[in-house]
Structures are given as C-alpha cells and as structure tokens.
C-alpha cells in the first residue's frame, strides 16, 4: 500500500550517512535522488523512504505523532538496528523489547528528531 514516505533533515550529508547505514542493515540502498531528496528501498516497485529538505524551502521539523516503522524481520535485527542508530548519534525513545501481542520493537530519533521504530512480529 505504501509507495513512499519522506522525512526532513537540517543536514543532508549527515542524514544520508546515517540512513545509508540504517537502511543498509535492511538490505535497502539508494534508489532515486533529486536535488532535495534521496530515496532508499529494495527496488523501485516496493515502498521507499526519502530523506531531504522540504519543497517549500522552510526549515524541516519532526512531526508530533509522526513515525516511520521499519520491518526488521527478527528480534536480532531490531536489536542490531537500534544499536547502530544509537552508535550513529540517534537518541533513545525506547529500548528493544516486547510491547505485547507479539510486537517486538525499539524506538529512536535521528539527529533531526524524526522518530523511527524497528520492529518484528511474532
């Protein structure tokens, strides 16, 4: 259902280095690039995530209540993504753990304050 989602950054080089590492753990790579945004995914027919500057030229900000969920596939990969994110400068929003109903997740914010969760089900 999801075609793509985008989040903003105040520092494109820093964000791109961060997301190359995080998305790389999930087998994603840079698929599309324009003057403002880089999009990562596994292929052009699957959902992508873009990181870049807002089209209106304004200052990007993290949305209150907005979050990107990264399907990690296993508890081990959730733990790995969370550890890598913190290593790269992300802030902790909830350590890896069981959240009930088979949902295992770890929450963090990138350097621009965008909230993400790496999760696995079952």
CATH 3.10.180.10 fits 4-53+67-121, yes or no: yes
pLDDT greater than 90 at residue 4: yes
Tell me if residue 85 falls in helix, strand or coil.
Answer: helix
pLDDT of residue 1: 78
Does residue 85 contact residue 108 with C-beta atoms inside 8 Å? yes
pLDDT of residue 2: 87
| Straight-line distance from the first to the last Cα atom of the chain, in angstroms, rounded to the nearest whole number | 22
Give pTM, 2 decimals: 0.94
Q: How far apart are CA 117 and CA 68, in angstroms?
A: 6
Spatial CA neighbour of 106 closest among 122, 77, 88, 89: 77
Domain edges within the chain: 4-53+67-121
pLDDT digits (tens, 9 = 90+) for 22-38: 999 999 999 999 989 99
Report residue 115: phi and psi, to 5°.
-90, 135
pLDDT of residue 109: 98
């Amino acid at each position: 259902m999801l075609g793509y989602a985008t989040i903003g950054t105040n520092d494109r080089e820093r964000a791109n280095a961060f997301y190359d590492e995080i998305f790389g753990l999930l087998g994603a790579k840079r698929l599309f690039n324009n003057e403002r945004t880089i999009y990562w995914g596994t292929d052009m027919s699957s959902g992508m995530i873009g990181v870049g500057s807002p089209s209106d030229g304004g200052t990007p900000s993290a949305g209150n209540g907005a979050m990107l969920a990264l399907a990690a596939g296993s508890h081990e990969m959730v733990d790995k993504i969370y550890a890598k994110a913190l290593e790269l400068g992300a802030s902790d929003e909830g350590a890896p753990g069981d959240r009930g109903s088979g949902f295992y997740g770890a929450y963090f914010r990138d350097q621009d304050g965008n909230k993400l969760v790496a999760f696995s089900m079952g």
